[in-house]
Structure 1
């Protein structure tokens, strides 16, 4: 329900994976499409990721984010633009993060852990979490495709990179009411967020343009559609703008896992979603790395860079 036309936290869709499995195909696809199209995000429950693994992962990333700056700065292997270590900045002074490119790769995880002097137990936890999240990503991406009537072979999304960001917000009494991270969209296909189970602050923008709080919900995950979802769906899905606001004087930690795009080749809408008369192709094919660099170089962090790749765009 909405009061005075304003969206509320309770309006944000909740997708129960077990309930989806029990529903007829048509009802399942309708519920998914409504979440993707109306909000571009949803709460995910019964996701089958072990809760003890989630808790242990939270402890591990918390300890890595508490490392001395000189150790965190070793994480400088930037496979793509804006990955590695993100230090507090003038734009986001309360935020810092560590990026892990291709968290589904044991080799990449071990390299990441080695740079940060992580112990064997920490490495084992990150590997197990990466594997579990990647399996969940494959399930969600296939369900997204199915909801649009797109048939994808089993290996289709497995060739897409899964990046991880562990995020720390250092909130103090003096920063209450200020921004933890600027308004942005994710550059990913979608993001699976394990949010802080105690400290809130995440807000998503509704279709009306108002921000809606996403309160902590222990044991659940939160899925956020990014710019690549808009491209891949040929405009049927939209990336959701979101931000983090300082609500209380506590450290806030979250784990974001992003399904980016193909390791090789271009991103483009499947042929089933393109019709020259009713649904012409909206975006030119492009590589994910090109898009990430474009967003970074143009300082366009809320989806504006997609306009530069529109199929109707012409250059002199």
Structure 2
């Protein structure tokens, strides 16, 4: 069961009201250092950010609930051959969980196509609310990416972190049996570069500590988000950053909804550590690899057999010492 101990989760305030976050200032580099340390020592952190209005977040969850109330046959029209893309639900290993994912979600045409597939007559409120939320989260992601580059002294090399597109995933976790504490989503690490998540104030997200000693429950206030390091960013950083294992556990009498944007390396991207992050003290830990090859491997039988810790990246691209 998740721990309620006083484990200090990093909280980083990027609110415009707290300080001007002009790049190159002393405040900027101080925050860059904190972001880097959180990514290296924890693999995630709570992010306070006030440029996304609470009204926009609330409206995003309102239209999300409307989507999940559609008939099952309508939701199943969202089909994608890629694993865990499109609609996912009604699965015996995660019976409480259903979600949908939209590729290139910051692209208006892509989101319009999805909306018209779900609502043939269109749904302007859904379209405009979601594109507004995704664009705000994209801005936040770009800021954190620049902080990571600056924290390693790579800020002038804009190509150091691979080009990405945005995948939106919105999830629903149904009610568990009364009085029970049950799995909503299995423990896993994200394969992508990064994720930024928020929820509807119903807790359930838990992270495993880096030393694997305990699971920590995370409860976010309305103005906060959680930033998560994915396997691809860990490989890019030559193992300096920690890809955090996380899960969702459900209890109580409320459904849970969450929304997340994932930075997905574009097709054909080769993930490799910058030469500045490889030295005698930090020898190369991963082979260069193509992102899509890794995602295909991660859902293969070979990966499942090798996944003692759900860290498929090590069995796929790790260099033996």
Say whether the fold is shared (TM-score over 0.5): yes
What pairs up with 1:101-250 in 2 under 5 angstroms? 101-117=103-119, 118-153=122-157, 159-174=163-178, 176-197=180-201, 199-209=202-212, 210-250=214-254
Give the structure 2 partner of residue 36 of structure 1.
39
Give the structure 2 partner of residue 307 of structure 1.
315
1:181 shift after superposition: 0.7
Comparing 217-226 with 230-239, greater Cα deviation is found at 217-226
* 1:49 is the counterpart of 2:52: yes
Q: What's the RMSD between the two structures over aligned residues?
A: 2.3
1:231 shift after superposition: 0.4
Distance 1:62 1:289 in 2: 31
| Number of matched pairs | 305
Give the structure 2 partner of residue 3 of structure 1.
none
Label 1:157 to 1:47 Cα distance change in 2 as closer, same or farther (>3 A). farther
Label 1:247 to 1:304 Cα distance change in 2 as closer, same or farther (>3 A). same
1:154 shift after superposition: 5.0
- Counterpart of 2:12 (choices 8, 12, 15) is 15
1:47 shift after superposition: 4.5
1:291 shift after superposition: 1.2
What pairs up with 1:254-265 in 2 under 5 angstroms? 254-265=258-269
Task: After superposition, give the CA deviation of every residue in 1:103-141 in whole Å (9 maximum; x if it has no partner).
Answer: 121121111111111511211111111211111111111
Task: After superposition, give the CA deviation of every residue in 1:28-54 in whole Å (9 maximum; x if it has no partner).
Answer: 233122211111111111242222211
Question: TM-score, normalised to structure 2's length?
Answer: 0.87
Label 1:291 to 1:175 Cα distance change in 2 as closer, same or farther (>3 A). farther
Comparing 22-31 with 86-95, greater Cα deviation is found at 22-31
Label 1:31 to 1:7 Cα distance change in 2 as closer, same or farther (>3 A). farther
In the TM superposition, structure 1's runs of 4+ consecutive aligned residues that sit over 6 Å from their partners are none
1:254 shift after superposition: 0.4
Give the structure 2 partner of residue 251 of structure 1.
255
Aligned residue for 2:132, secondary structure, equals helix
Give 5+ residue unaligned stretches, structure 1.
Answer: 1-5
Distance 2:77 2:211 in 1: 43
Distance 1:9 1:43 in 2: 15
**8 A contact 1:265–1:287 mirrored in 2:** yes
Distance 2:141 2:117 in 1: 26
**8 A contact 1:38–1:207 mirrored in 2:** yes
Distance 2:46 2:156 in 1: 25
Label 1:201 to 1:143 Cα distance change in 2 as closer, same or farther (>3 A). same
Comparing 23-32 with 282-291, greater Cα deviation is found at 23-32
Question: TM-score, normalised to structure 1's length?
Answer: 0.89
1:157 shift after superposition: 5.7
Give 5+ residue unaligned stretches, structure 2.
Answer: none
Distance 2:180 2:223 in 1: 26
- Counterpart of 2:286 (choices 283, 286, 289) is 283
Comparing 7-16 with 40-49, greater Cα deviation is found at 7-16
1:153 shift after superposition: 4.7
Label 1:158 to 1:126 Cα distance change in 2 as closer, same or farther (>3 A). farther
